[in-house]
Amino acid sequence: MGEMGEEEIISSKALPMKGGDGPYSYTKNSYCQRVALDNIKEMINEAIAENLDIKHLSPISNTFCIADLGCSVGPNTFTSMNDIMEATVLKYHSEGLSSNLPEFHVFFNDHTANDFNTLFTSLPPDRQYFAAGVPGSFYIRLFPKASLHFVHSSFALHYLSKLPKEITDKNSPAYNKGKISYPTSSKEVVEAYASQFSKDFESFLNFRAEELVCGGLMVLIMTGIPDGSSRFQAIGATLDVLGYCLMDMAKMGLVSEAKVDSFNFPVYSPFRREVEELLERNRCFSVERFELVTRTRDVAATDVQAVTKHARAVTEEMIKQRFGSEIIDELYERVFQKLQEFPQFLDGIFKRSTQLFVVLKRQAMD
Ligand SMILES: C[S@@+](CC[C@H](N)C(=O)[O-])C[C@H]1O[C@@H](n2cnc3c(N)ncnc32)[C@H](O)[C@@H]1O
């Protein structure tokens, strides 16, 4: 690999979920997202029933185009796409347009490193839509102008397009020594992450504004935390546990400490108000719904093994790229032990799950 730029290693291009369908795969370990999506299903149905103005939606022949951005390998994406399609068909019926049903075209997007083979081989055989893969980052233009009617994205927008430079600059006050994420880091580190998130989210909105037809809807389900609450929740807590375990291994000489110092996950969970402000600033969309959905889980019933596997499914690939595959089993065994030993981590990860649910409508072109 030689002197492959640090930036390239840490860009979220290198962050696919664990592919295939093995015991640690995303396919087998994405139930948390699925449960949250099931919870939100009714809200998506409502968004389509109330906000999708099919009579005035710019038609593209008789095709209704849906994109799932950051779809991963399934099966969640298939359930979501099916739910959206069914709710749209219902809407056609309720508007007296039963004889005019469109054909559906679903675009599955993720990074090129995503396991699209697993995605395509597990496409539901009885699906009622045409399927296509669209590789590439959703922080660039992915589709022709005004070609989509519906954009969906779940649990993907916390991935930044890249890690802020100063995080790995030894001479910067935002140098994140000994940590791989920001929740318990200095204010400078947190600010660097927050600022990258703002830039990325703005670009995301601007590119989608070009791709959606006038009147088209965008539903975003993204990790987000209540204003004023601790940042040590969900993803932040997961990465902190992983960071502590990596540091323990560095102290024992099992991994290089310098490598841990320069390694950081480019993911960020915004506060509710951060997203609200960015949406207010954007003139291309009207905000039809914006909510922080909270679910309290029964921690006592949480299975540490399952939590560890879930953490592994979403982080293993990147750890492997940075530290090699030799350390993987030991690292996640340590994560398992740490979670058993310190239930406060488990609380941080799983006690309360909060997501932002956002429905946006593309406004008429200026
Ligand atoms: C946690 S998974 C969520 C998958 C699925 N949407 C779900 O709800 O289960 C996040 C996915 O977003 C993808 N992702 C992250 N950043 C991305 C980007 N800039 N462009 C496209 N996909 C991205 C990741 O590769 C990963 O597959």
- Give yes or no for residue 156 CB within 6 A of ligand 1: yes
- Each residue's pLDDT tens digit, 118-127: 999 999 999 9
Q: Which of 72, 202, 267 to mutate to test the pocket of ligand 1 (most atoms within 8 A of CB)?
A: 72
Task: Tell me how far apart the alpha carbons of residues 351 and 309 are, in angstroms, rounded to a whole number.
Answer: 17
Per-residue confidence (pLDDT) for residue 45, from 0 to 100: 93
Residue nearest to atom 19 of ligand 1 (CA): 137
Q: Which of 110, 211, 316, 356 to mutate to test the pocket of ligand 1 (most atoms within 8 A of CB)?
A: 110
Kindly give the distance from the C-alpha atom of residue 166 to the centroid of ligand 1, in angstroms, as a whole number.
25
Kindly give the distance from the C-alpha atom of residue 67 to the centroid of ligand 1, in angstroms, as a whole number.
13
- Give yes or no for residue 201 CB within 6 A of ligand 1: no
Per-residue confidence (pLDDT) for residue 307, from 0 to 100: 81
Per-residue confidence (pLDDT) for residue 351, from 0 to 100: 63
| Residue ranges covered by each domain of the chain | 6-227+265-296+352-362
Q: What are 186's two structure tokens?
A: 């200095």
Residue type at 183 in one-letter notation: P
Per-residue confidence (pLDDT) for residue 2, from 0 to 100: 32
- Give yes or no for residue 80 CB within 6 A of ligand 1: no
Per-residue confidence (pLDDT) for residue 366, from 0 to 100: 53
Q: Is the peptide bond before 16 cis (omega within 30 degrees of 0)?
A: no
Kindly give the distance from the C-alpha atom of residue 17 to the centroid of ligand 1, in angstroms, as a whole number.
8
- Give yes or no for residue 114 CB within 6 A of ligand 1: yes
If we measure between CA atoms, which residue out of 302, 288, 314, 312 comes closest to residue 346?
A: 302
If we measure between CA atoms, which residue out of 256, 252, 249, 267 comes closest to residue 315?
A: 267
CATH superfamily of 6-227+265-296+352-362: Vaccinia Virus protein VP39 (3.40.50.150)
SS3 state at 240: helix
- Give yes or no for residue 77 CB within 6 A of ligand 1: yes
Per-residue confidence (pLDDT) for residue 13, from 0 to 100: 53
- Give yes or no for residue 19 CB within 6 A of ligand 1: no
- Give yes or no for residue 138 CB within 6 A of ligand 1: yes
pTM of the shown model: 0.89
Residues of the chain with pLDDT under 50: 1-12, 299-301
Q: Which are the contacts of 118, defined by CB distance < 8 A and separation ≥ 6?
A: 19, 20, 21, 25, 27, 73, 74
- Each residue's pLDDT tens digit, 242-301: 999 999 999 999 999 999 988 999 999 999 999 999 999 999 999 999 999 987 665 444
Residue nearest to atom 13 of ligand 1 (CA): 70
Positions of E strands within 117-223: 130-135, 148-154, 212-223
